[in-house]
Structure formats: C-alpha cells, structure tokens
C-alpha cells in the first residue's frame, strides 16, 4: 500500500509537474490567501514525498488545489477518513446538548442493500440478521430523501431533562416545521410532543407549556431537573419538535451516581 508521500509524488509525475512548478503554484496560493503556510519549498516537498513527512493542513490544501484532487481524498492517504466519523463520535461525550454537525462532510455510508425476503416489519426482530448484504452508498444518491426541515441534536451526557425517555447520549431528529407548541390532546407521556429548545444557556429537549409571556420548560417527572420559566421568545426559542431518536442502552454511566433519590430530593425541599 502506498504511503501518502508516494501517492503525492506519483500524482505530481502523472501531471508532468516539477518540484519548482509546485513551489511556484503554492507561492501563488499563499499570496492569494496572505498566508505563507501554504507555500511549499522544493526541499519540504521532497521530504513529504520520500521521507514520510506529514504536510500541514495548509500545504495539503495547496497540493489538493495544484493537483486538482479532492482535499478529503488526500486526507484519506494519511489515515483520516471522514466517512468513519460516525464510528468515533462517541469517543467524546459533551456535557451540554447541542446541534450535531460532525457528519456534515461524510460522503458515503454503509447501508443495507439487500434484506431477507422473510422480514416482516410488523414483528420485533433482530434486524442485523435480516440484512443479507451491506454496501457503501455515496450520500449523493440519498439526496432525493433529504428534508431541509430536519436538523439533528445530541443529548449531553449530563442533560437529564427528559430522562428516562431520552437518556443522555441520545441523538434526536428535529422537525423544524413543527415549532408551534401544541397544548393538550395526548393520552400518555409518549404522545406528548417533546421540543428542542435553544436558550441563552444552550439547548435542551423538554415538554413545553406557554403562558401569556413565558414558556415553561418541563422535564420528565422522574428527572432531577427542575422546571424553568423563561421569557418567550426572547429567552427561549423552539427549534422544532423531536420526531425521531437513536439511543444506546446500558453504555452510559448510571444516573444513580449523580441523581439524588426521591427521599434525598424530599429532604432537600
């Protein structure tokens, strides 16, 4: 398998460019952006091609421009594949809920491309066993399914507002077209709309109730988080309604370590 440097050298030679050509072109890139970090002297290019020296992000960008190649492709030559971000995203657990934009540059995903004909969506089943074949699909082919009204959020590792319905570490799909708070009409807590709300202190998922001037951010009854009343819409903005959720069970730290028991909460009150 070629190293990144060998790939870059092969590409330069295929294009008929000398090291001096690359130096001159990178100098023009540096001049345009007023940043000398883009410049690549011949000695440095030689080190990159033959000695395994890893170029800086500036020089890698300049090489992508000069060689007419996708910058992300050059990154992959050095072991950075943005298509596997989804596999690594749980390495960090931010404490606050927020918008999730880490997957914006993913270009391909592994999806089921052939399902067992016996699969019955009405019955609970091990979906992994129902998939006969997985395949890599460029996201461009999935563009027909996009909906610009959807955005995605992440429930922070210390955000227990809607626990246990939405445990920390969950990803939520938010329909921005449903930003009007619905009052009443549900038969259970699972039918009551959950909203993704932005406040001056960050984001949160919660039930909402409107009064004359305020919005009440209501947590789940089993949550240790207290309800809050904020001025609406100056102090709180409803981004949309949560319409989907993806969560892992049993992999985050037990809430008992940080959540007081009912008896402890009664004592505090």
**Which of 1-5, 54-58, 125-129, 131-135 ranks highest by mean pLDDT?**
54-58
More confident: 13 or 266: 13
Tell me what percent of the residues of the chain surpass a pLDDT of 90: 49
Q: Quick one: which of 233, 224, 109, 121 has its CA closest to 181?
A: 233
Instruction: Identify the three-state secondary structure at position 119.
Output: coil
How would residue 65 be classed by pLDDT, with cut points 50, 70 and 90?
Answer: very high
Q: What does residue 168 show for φ and ψ, rounded to 5 degrees?
A: -55, 145
For tokens 């992300």, the residue is 72
Report the distance separating Cα 57 and Cα 109, nearest Å. Answer: 25
pLDDT at position 103 is: 66
Tokens at 187, concatenated = 């038969």
**CA atoms within a 13 Å half-sphere pointing along the CA-CB vector of 134:** 8
pLDDT at position 252 is: 55
Question: What pTM, to 2 d.p., does this model score?
Answer: 0.56
Report the distance separating Cα 225 and Cα 145, nearest Å. Answer: 37
Residue ranges and CATH numbers for the domains of the chain are 4-77 (1.10.260.40), 86-94+101-145 (no CATH), 150-268 (2.10.109.10)
Q: Is pLDDT at 40 greater than 80 in this prediction?
A: yes
Q: What is the pLDDT of residues 209-252, one digit of tens each?
A: 999 899 999 999 999 999 999 999 999 999 999 999 988 776 65
Q: Is pLDDT at 29 greater than 90 in this prediction?
A: yes
Q: What is the pLDDT of residues 184-202, one digit of tens each?
A: 888 999 999 999 999 988 8
């Amino acid at each position: 398998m070629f190293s990144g440097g060998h790939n870059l050298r092969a590409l330069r030679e295929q294009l008929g460019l000398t090291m001096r050509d690359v130096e001159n072109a990178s100098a023009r890139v540096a001049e345009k952006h007023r940043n000398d970090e883009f410049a690549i002297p011949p000695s440095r290019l030689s080190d990159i091609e033959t000695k395994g020296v890893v170029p800086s992000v500036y020089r890698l960008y300049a090489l992508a421009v000069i060689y007419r190649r996708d910058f992300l492709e050059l990154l992959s030559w050095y072991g950075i594949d943005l298509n596997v971000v989804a596999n690594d995203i749980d390495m960090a657990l931010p404490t606050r809920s927020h918008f999730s934009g880490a997957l914006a540059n993913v270009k391909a995903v592994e999806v089921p491309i052939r399902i067992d004909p016996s699969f019955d969506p009405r019955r609970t089943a091990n979906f992994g066993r129902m998939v006969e074949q997985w395949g890599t699909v460029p996201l461009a082919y999935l563009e027909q399914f996009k909906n610009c009204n959807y955005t995605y959020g992440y429930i922070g590792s210390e955000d227990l507002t809607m626990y246990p319905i939405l445990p920390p570490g969950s990803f939520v799909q938010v329909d921005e077209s449903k930003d009007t708070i619905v009052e009443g009409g549900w038969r259970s807590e699972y039918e009551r709309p959950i909203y993704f709300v932005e406040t001056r202190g960050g984001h949160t998922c919660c039930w909402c109730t409107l009064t004359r001037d305020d919005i009440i951010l209501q947590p789940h009854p089993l949550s240790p988080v207290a309800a809050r009343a904020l001025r609406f819409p100056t102090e709180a903005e409803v981004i949309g309604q949560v319409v989907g959720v993806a969560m892992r069970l049993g992999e985050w730290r037990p809430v008992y370590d940080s959540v007081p028991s009912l008896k402890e909460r009664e004592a505090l009150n």
